[in-house]
Structure 1
Amino acid sequence: MLGVHFALTADQERALLSAEGDANVGEVLEDIEENWAEDDLSASTDKAWDAIHRSLGNGSLDPDGGRYPLSHAILGGRHLHEEYYVVYVTAAEARDVNTALNQVDEGWLRRRFDAIDDPDYNGPQNDEDFSYTWQNFLGVRVFYERAANAGRAVLFTAT
């Protein structure tokens, strides 16, 4: 699954939060993805979102694993779909996440990455995989700074 973050406009946020059921959420998400034009307010994490979430949390993909606000950078937040990760973070939470991500340095993330001990994690956990994870983490950090500065809520998707 490939991960993408979007900093939602007020209209997109209203449409998403008023959608009921997976089909309606899926339609709104499809519209957001197909009509996205603000590259500086989106960030793709390819497959690195998995290792990033595990490293910022408790080593698992549990959305509640780890401590707020780092837990909300990827999978923490309000889940809007049953089959796919469609995770909503309010603008206030995005500001908190931004502040917390700016405290994370490469050494801290590497220690957390190396400590992942979940049999469900399929990544190799070597220097190359960490470098890939770190580079994608930096993209997420820049994204949250832009989203927070714009006062926008965030949507993370992995489908």
Structure 2
Amino acid sequence: MLGVHYAVTANQDRALFAAAGDGGVGEYVEDLEESWSDDKLRVDSDKAWDAIHRCLGDGTLDPDSGDYPLSHAVLGGRHLHEEYYVVYASATETEDVAAALLGVDRGSLRRRFDAINDPDYAGAHDDTDFEYMWTNFLDVRAFFQRAAAAGRAVIFTAM
């Protein structure tokens, strides 16, 4: 599953929750992906989202792992789909995540990465895997800064 974060407008936010009420979140996300035009308010984390979440949490993919607000950078937040990850963080949570991510440096993320001890982790768990995750983490961190500055909520998807 490839991960993507979107910084959504208030109108998109309302449409997402309307779709959730109608059971149409998957279709809504597909439409969002096809129509998205602002690359500064979207970031692809490819498969690195898995390691990023593990490193910001307790080393697992448990959405409730780790401490807020870092836990909300990927899988923490409100889950809106049963089969796929469609995870919502409010604009206030986005601001909190953006501030917290600034405190994560390469050394601390490497220590967390090296501590992953979950047999379900499918990554290579080597230097190349860390560099791949680190590069994507930097993109996600910069994205959250832009999303917070724009006052937007964030949706993370992995479908």
TM-score of Structure 1 vs Structure 2, range by shorter chain: over 0.9
1:53-81 deviations in Å (ceiling 9; x for gaps): 00000000000000000000000000000
Aligned equivalent of 1:123: 123
In structure 2, how many angstroms separate the alpha carbons of the residues matched to 1:118 and 1:22?
A: 36
Q: Is the 8 A contact 1:22 1:80 kept in 2?
A: no
Aligned equivalent of 1:48: 48
SS where residue 76 of structure 1 aligns?
coil
Q: Which runs of 5+ in 2 are unaligned?
A: none
Q: Report the TM-score, using the length of structure 1 for normalisation.
A: 0.98
SS where residue 20 of structure 1 aligns?
helix
In structure 2, how many angstroms separate the alpha carbons of the residues matched to 1:125 and 1:30?
A: 31
Give structure 1 regions of 4+ aligned residues with deviation exceeding 3 angstroms.
20-23
In structure 2, how many angstroms separate the alpha carbons of the residues matched to 1:102 and 1:67?
A: 15
In structure 1, how many angstroms separate the alpha carbons of the residues matched to 2:66 and 2:155?
A: 19
Q: Is the 8 A contact 1:102 1:141 kept in 2?
A: yes
Aligned equivalent of 1:132: 132
Q: Is the 8 A contact 1:2 1:158 kept in 2?
A: yes
Superposition deviation, residue 30 in structure 1: 1.4
Q: Report the TM-score, using the length of structure 2 for normalisation.
A: 0.98
SS where residue 62 of structure 1 aligns?
coil
The one-letter code of the counterpart of 2:134 is W
1:34-71 deviations in Å (ceiling 9; x for gaps): 10000000000000000000000000000000000000
SS where residue 19 of structure 1 aligns?
helix
Aligned equivalent of 1:18: 18
SS where residue 24 of structure 2 aligns?
helix
The number of residue pairs the alignment matches comes to 159
The CA RMSD measured in Å over matched residues stands at 1.0
Alignment of 1:75-90 (within 5 A): 75-90=75-90
Q: Is the 8 A contact 1:72 1:89 kept in 2?
A: yes
Task: Report the CA distance shift for 1:155/1:20 in structure 2 as closer, same or farther (over 3 A).
Answer: closer
Superposition deviation, residue 23 in structure 1: 4.3
**Percent identity, aligned pairs only?**
67
SS where residue 107 of structure 1 aligns?
helix
